[in-house]
Structure 1
Amino acid sequence: MLKFLDHLEEWLIAALMGAATLLIFVSVLHRYGASTELLNPWLAPINMSWAQELCIYMFVWMAKFGAAYGVRTGIHVGVDVLINKLDTRNRNRFIVFGLLAGAVFTATVGSLGANFVWHMSQTDQTSPDLELPMWLVYLAIPLGSYLMCFRFIQVMVNFVRTGELPHHDHSHVEGMEDETYSVGEAMEIGEEISHVQRGMGDAEWEDKQRKKGKGD
């Protein structure tokens, strides 16, 4: 179960972002296509007015679950100048207090949101274009807040055990290797790429390298 929760935010955000991007793309194509004489008879009867509303709801859900992702990965902005000047014992106390306060706050927001969603589900209120029950839209508040609370507790427990907090390196791009090259290595790699692009044979390339070595 915890393995599933470890990447829950990424999966939801990626799915929602991909769906929203595709929907906006289709909506724009429909809008411009319907304005042409050739495609107007086929596209004009298709109603895409709901696309903007659905995208807004998707971004709301992305924001709520993105906040939980931020807690887990440590990308939220925090002012810790004064705390870092304290001795280790007091610093750890303040960090635990801050994480606990975050958990209590998000749990409170989640409970209030759940109560709000419950009362809204007893009404017939729907969205303007999609006519979705509005309680489904607002369900992002309790779900996202409770997940954020869980992440605060998770980070706090890990900090108590190991003394480490999640840290996000903004200079690192996920999916790319951390290997670095010297200037000379980079030039050699560039030459290898260029010889492949020019269609130079391996024997010709090796002969060129031997001559270069003798010249050095």
Structure 2
Amino acid sequence: MEASRSKAARILDSLEEIIIATLLAAATLVIFVAIVQRYGLSGVASVYRWSRAEDIPWLTSFTRSLFFAIAYVRLTWAQELCIFMIVWMAKFGAAYGVRTGIHVGVDILVERLTGEWKRAMIVAGLLAGALFTVIVGTLGAHLVWHIASTGQTSAVLEVPMWIVYLAVPLGSYLMCFRFLEVAWHFWQTGERPHHDPGAVEGIETPPPAGGER
């Protein structure tokens, strides 16, 4: 499937992956820094109390200054920002899942079918996914329009909430496109995207010795 994709489709694929990877890395970094600060404050406070009890003036003065220096960097916004980034990552990740075939599905009935019946059931399932996601995207677009008109902002960052909810229509419409793309490719070639849980990208598993499993 990858070999037959156009340049525009490959650019969209790369953009999708960059957005997901960037949001995941940023959320991880923000959470890490927030946790380090929280436990760092607790640790410095413990040393400060111990130094006072043991009457070590220089250490008491140092830990006091260090505590206020760390506390000066306020990260009360970290949790809210991470939630927003994870929401966006999840919506675009769902579209990526359709493209790569990593979504979990109950296909016991489909796999028992053969020939045109199996082909029709697969196409019907993909088109049903496209219909559902375009409905969600349209409802999400109406929600974004409504929230934008109210001027609502987030509690901590004071980011316009319509930007946060914009992930719903954008992610859903992209997911709809992916369903249609997979359906069209399957109709033309009979191939579906498949994900091997044991595979690692960039590493090819050597064939078993003697051609046997």
Q: What residue in structure 1 maps to residue 57 of structure 2?
A: none
C-alpha distance in 1 between matches for 2:85 and 2:183 = 30
C-alpha distance in 2 between matches for 1:44 and 1:80 = 53
C-alpha distance in 1 between matches for 2:36 and 2:86 = 21
Aligned counterpart for 1:95 among listed residues 103, 116, 122: 122
Name the stretch that deviates more: 56-65 or 3-12. 3-12
User: Which residues of 2 match residues 114-193 of structure 1 at below 5 A?
Assistant: 114-179=141-206
| Residue identity matched to 1:59 | I
TM-superposed CA distance for 1:86, in Å, is 2.1
TM-superposed CA distance for 1:125, in Å, is 1.0
**TM-score using structure 1 length:** 0.80
Is the radius of gyration larger for structure 1 or structure 2?
1
Name the stretch that deviates more: 170-179 or 117-126. 170-179
| Residue identity matched to 2:23 | L
Please tell me the root mean square deviation across aligned C-alpha atoms, in Å.
1.5
| 1:177–1:28 distance in 2 versus 1, CA, 3 Å | same
TM-superposed CA distance for 1:57, in Å, is 1.0
| Residue identity matched to 2:21 | A
Q: Secondary structure at the match of 2:72?
A: coil
Q: What residue in structure 2 maps to residue 5 of structure 1?
A: 12
Name the stretch that deviates more: 118-127 or 146-155. 118-127
Q: What residue in structure 1 maps to residue 58 of structure 2?
A: none
Q: What residue in structure 1 maps to residue 99 of structure 2?
A: 72
What do residues 156-197 of structure 1 show as CA deviations (whole Å, max 9, x unaligned)?
A: 010011001111011101122323686xxxxxxxxxxxxxxx
Q: Secondary structure at the match of 2:151?
A: coil
C-alpha distance in 1 between matches for 2:181 and 2:196 = 20
Runs of 4+ in 1 over 3 A off after TM superposition: none
Q: What residue in structure 2 maps to residue 200 of structure 1?
A: none
TM-superposed CA distance for 1:30, in Å, is 1.8
| Residue identity matched to 1:171 | G
Q: What residue in structure 1 maps to residue 4 of structure 2?
A: none
User: Which residues of 2 match residues 32-71 of structure 1 at below 5 A?
Assistant: 32-35=39-42, 36=44, 37=48, 38=63, 39-71=66-98
TM-superposed CA distance for 1:62, in Å, is 1.2
Structure 2 unaligned regions, length at least 5: 1-7, 49-62
Q: What residue in structure 1 maps to residue 60 of structure 2?
A: none
C-alpha distance in 2 between matches for 1:112 and 1:22 = 33
Q: Secondary structure at the match of 2:193?
A: coil
**TM-score using structure 2 length:** 0.81
Q: Percent same amino acid at aligned positions? A: 59
Q: How many residues are treated as equivalent by the alignment?
A: 182
